[in-house]
Amino acid sequence: MTGPDLVAVLAARGRIAPYIHRTPVMTCRSLDEMAGARIFFKCENLQRTGSFKMRGASNAIFSLSDADAAFGVVTHSSGNHAAAVACAARQRGIPAWVVMPENSSRAKLAAVEGYGGYVTLCVPTLEARESTANKLVAGSGATLIHPYNDDRIVAGQGTAAVELLEEVPDLDVIIAPVSGGGLLSGTAIAAKSMRPKIRVMGAEPKNADDALRSLASGKIEPAAEGKTIADGLRATLCERTFEIIRERVDEIAPVTEEEILQAMRAVWERMKIIIEPSSAVAVAPLLTRRAQAEGLRVGVILSGGNLDLDHLPFGVATL
- 53 among known catalytic residues: yes
Q: Are residues 171 and 277 in the same domain?
A: yes
Where do the DSSP E strands lie in 192-291?
199-205, 251-255
User: Do 200 and 248 meet the contact criterion of CB atoms below 8 Å apart?
Assistant: yes
Q: Are residues 162 and 40 in the same domain?
A: yes
> Which is catalytic among the residues 53, 192, 279, 303?
53
- State the CB neighbour count (10 A cutoff) for residue 269: 10
In 3-state terms, what secondary structure has residue 150?
A: coil
DSSP conformational letter for 304: B
pTM, to two decimals: 0.95
Last residue of a domain, one of 144, 174, 207: 144
- 105 among known catalytic residues: no
Instruction: Report the CATH number at residue 94.
Output: 3.40.50.1100
Going residue by residue through the chain (319 aa), what tens digit of pLDDT does each one get? 567 999 999 999 999 999 999 999 999 999 999 999 999 999 999 999 999 999 999 999 999 999 999 999 999 998 899 999 999 999 999 999 999 989 887 888 999 999 999 999 999 888 899 999 999 999 999 999 999 999 999 999 999 999 999 999 999 999 999 999 999 999 999 999 999 999 999 999 999 999 999 999 999 999 887 799 998 888 899 999 999 999 999 999 999 999 999 999 999 999 999 999 999 999 999 999 999 999 999 999 999 999 888 778 876 544 4
Q: What is the rounded radius of gyration, in angstroms, for the C-alpha atoms of the chain?
A: 18
Q: Are residues 122 and 30 in the same domain?
A: no
Q: Are residues 155 and 244 in the same domain?
A: yes
Q: Are residues 67 and 188 in the same domain?
A: no
Distance CA(25)–CA(294), nearest Å, equals 20
Q: Is residue 64 one of the residues assigned to a domain? A: yes
Main-chain phi, psi angles of 66, to 5 degrees: -60, -35
Q: Is residue 312 one of the residues assigned to a domain? A: no
Q: Is residue 1 one of the residues assigned to a domain? A: no
Last residue of a domain, one of 144, 177, 211: 144
Q: Dihedral sign, CA of 159, 47, 31, 212?
A: negative
> Which is catalytic among the residues 78, 185, 193, 278?
78
Split into its structural domains, the chain has a count of 2
Domain that holds residue 125: 54-144
> Closest Cα to residue 237, out of 259, 270, 214?
214
Q: Is residue 319 one of the residues assigned to a domain? A: no
Q: How far is CA 155 from each of CA 7, 121, 212, rounded to the nearest angstrom?
A: 9, 29, 23
Element containing residue 100 per DSSP (H, E): strand 96-101
